[in-house]
Structure 1
């Protein structure tokens, strides 16, 4: 296996672990909590789920080699549901159900990819491992956001948090603030890798 293939394998494995963690957070979402605030400033849980729907769609496109920079607007009230009447009604009541299906689709898309060449993200060239790693950071941290909005404490697994922390320092710069991420915060004394990751990405880890 050459170096590019090894990097892709590692990036996909990290993305799979991030999605597995976030799937657990999505299971605690109910229609009653969609209006709750999240650690993402100015976003309630419904808005965060809508954003994640867009992120999963982008990751699916990336597996095919190109990510569009513009998408159709997400309808007010959540993503457009798919499937038969029962699935559509369930997704309207709880969009997390549809998002779980999207996450599973992303896992399948990336598990089967052998793409090692450059992926076009709009007009910005990125390698497949870079896209997978960036997706892993975003998905894992939003998984934590979802759990907190639902009143649950679901720590990011320590080994995953350590890897994401190292990579976040490479992938998230001052140019990403305040549009993609809020200003970094000071982590607690003797904080864990998760605490440092969340603080670096503008969240209060307490």
Structure 2
């Protein structure tokens, strides 16, 4: 793949559906649990997801995202509910197929499909992180993970490591696409998820 996929909005919609399943596992008592994202507990991850969803809502609505993105000025009182509400609103926009064809990100212009594909990758992988922090094993569907694996090879390079993603982990040729995707993004899908500990 040499550019963003034409089905970026569909990928984003699928990522939001996957995230919804992971969010169903979240309970307030779990917010202090560690996640596969080094140094983040579940509450920090939900706040990050909240900001990511806000940026995607700005992109699909106003057609612009400020860079650097400021996120929410105040942390929401109900981070679980805030993520659910924003994910639902974004899913509605995906279903409507409305929105701009290009998005201003700071002083750069990106195609809406590139923004959607980037959002899909981030939301799906963090959806997996959320489930793991809750002690659950929710593999990414193989066909979906395979599409995201292609997207990740275009969107993630060494400049993104270690700031946005951890260094890639080794994988085996016969690994499931979800395992390979997560390994490429520095996550060990074979690690035990029991009690959300890593």
TM-score, normalised with respect to structure 2:
0.87
CA shift, 1:96, in A, is 1.6
CA shift, 1:72, in A, is 5.3
Which of residues 137, 161, 164 is equivalent to 1:153?
137
Cα 1:119–1:154 shift into 2, 3 Å: same
Equivalences for 1:82-121 in 2 at 5 Å?
91=78, 95-115=79-99, 117-121=101-105
Secondary structure of 1:145 counterpart: helix
Matched, 1:131 2:115: yes
CA shift, 1:142, in A, is 0.3
Q: Distance in 1 between matches of 2:145 and 2:18?
A: 11
| Runs (4+) off by over 6 Å | none
Give the alignment's Cα RMSD to 1 decimal: 1.7
Which of residues 8, 12, 26 is equivalent to 1:11?
8
* Equivalent residues, number: 184
Cα 1:97–1:203 shift into 2, 3 Å: same
Residues 180-189 or 23-32, more deviating? 180-189
Structure 1, unmatched stretches of 5+, are 1-5, 82-90
Larger radius of gyration: 1
Provide the residue aligned with 1:67 in structure 2.
Answer: 65
Q: Distance in 1 between matches of 2:94 and 2:64?
A: 14
CA shift, 1:188, in A, is 4.1
Provide the residue aligned with 1:199 in structure 2.
Answer: 183
Residues 41-94 of structure 1 deviation map (CA, whole Å, 9 limit, x = unaligned): 11110000000000000000111210112325554xxx324xxxxxxxxx2xxx
Q: Distance in 2 between matches of 1:125 and 1:175?
A: 20
Structure 2, unmatched stretches of 5+, are 191-198
Q: Distance in 1 between matches of 2:44 and 2:56?
A: 19
Q: Distance in 2 between matches of 1:51 and 1:204?
A: 21
Residues 173-182 or 63-72, more deviating? 63-72
CA shift, 1:181, in A, is 0.8
Q: Quick check: which one's helix share is greater? A: 1
CA shift, 1:101, in A, is 1.1
CA shift, 1:113, in A, is 4.3
TM-score, normalised with respect to structure 1:
0.84
Which of residues 174, 180, 195 is equivalent to 2:158?
174
